Amino acid sequence: MKLKRFLLVGVVLFGLGGCHRHPTDAALQTAFRSNYPAFSNIVADLRLAPDRTQIEWNGSACVFGDTLTNQAVVTTRLLSHFKTIGQPLFVVATQTRAGPQVIFYFSRRGISVSGSAKGIIYMETEPMRIVPDTDASSQTNAPFTVVRPLDKNWFIFYSR
């Protein structure tokens, strides 16, 4: 009986977690344009702290997914930028062969192979798979990330 209840709760939670829609390209463009200085400052601050790789902004506090020797200083710098953007975000900063990338996840749903995500990404090199509309890409079953240009080094991404 407990196993059935556990499985039922799991299915319901999975269903609820996977049912929300990703933001549209238009909504992400608006968020980017109205908060460009905050996004740029987050990228600049994360480049000053190369050991910082994951930050989750839950709407009131920064939660770090890794260690940092002077976390209070980084939190102080980032807090005002996240407050300006004004919505929960999951941010991942990585260093690739093509240069630094900072990924701003506005929405994530599903798990593992069947999951998808959408948001804004800062990249120093032009990515592959540029499309005119990531909203249309979300209707396909293509198993890769596509991007739409926003501004120099800034893109909207949709990943399946």
90 three-class SS = strand
* Cα–Cα distance for residue pair 100/94, rounded to 1 Å: 6
Contacts 24+ apart (CB under 8 A), 135-142: 135/24, 135/25, 138/22
The string of pLDDT tens digits covering residues 42-98 is: 998 887 766 667 888 888 877 777 655 456 656 777 888 998 998 889 998 887 777
Strand order in the sheet with 89-96: 62-64, 54-57, 89-96, 99-109, 116-123, 154-159, 145-151
The string of pLDDT tens digits covering residues 3-51 is: 444 333 344 334 444 446 889 999 999 999 999 999 999 998 887 766 6
Identity (one letter) of the amino acid at 89? Answer: L
121 three-class SS = strand
pTM: 0.78
Answer for the pair 149, 155: CB distance below 8 angstroms, yes or no.
yes
The alpha-helical segments, DSSP class H, found in 119-160 are 134-137
